[in-house]
Amino acid sequence: MNEDLSIYKYYNDYIEHQQRTERHNFLAQRLLNIIIQANWNKRIICSPGFNMMSNDLEIHKNRFGRYIAIVETIGDEMRQLRINYNQQRLNKIIDILTKIQQYDN
C-alpha cells in the first residue's frame, strides 16, 4: 500500500514539474518576443534622419510602457515557478526598456 502511494506521489511531482517547465518555456519565449520587438523599435527610432512627431513619441512611450508591464508580470510568474529565475537579468531588461522609452528628439 505504501509503495502505491509513493509511486502516486512521484508521478504527481513529475507532472507538476513538467507543467512548471512548460509554463517557464512559454514565459521565456514571450520575454524573447518582447526583446525582439523592442530591439526592432529601437533600430527604427535610432536610424539617421528619423524624427518623431509628438504623437509618435506618445505612442512609442505607451508601447514601451506596456512592454515594461509585461516584463514585470513575466518576472513575477517566473519567480513563482522557481525555475531558472534571475532577478538581475529581468531588472536589466526593464532598465534597458526604460531607457528606450525615454527617447527624446
d(CA 93, CA 46): 19
Q: Specify the pLDDT at position 72.
A: 95
Q: What type of residue is 34?
A: I
List the grid coordinates of 95.
532598465
Q: Specify the pLDDT at position 104.
A: 53
d(CA 4, CA 48): 68
- Give, as one character, the DSSP assignment of residue 85: -
The tens digit of pLDDT for each residue in 66-103 reads: 999 999 999 999 999 888 888 999 999 999 999 888 87
Determine the angle formed by the axes of helices 87-101 and 2-45, rounding to 10 degrees.
Answer: 20
The tens digit of pLDDT for each residue in 18-36 reads: 999 999 999 999 999 999 9
**For residues 48-60, average pLDDT:** 80
> CB of 68 within 8 A of CB of 97?
yes
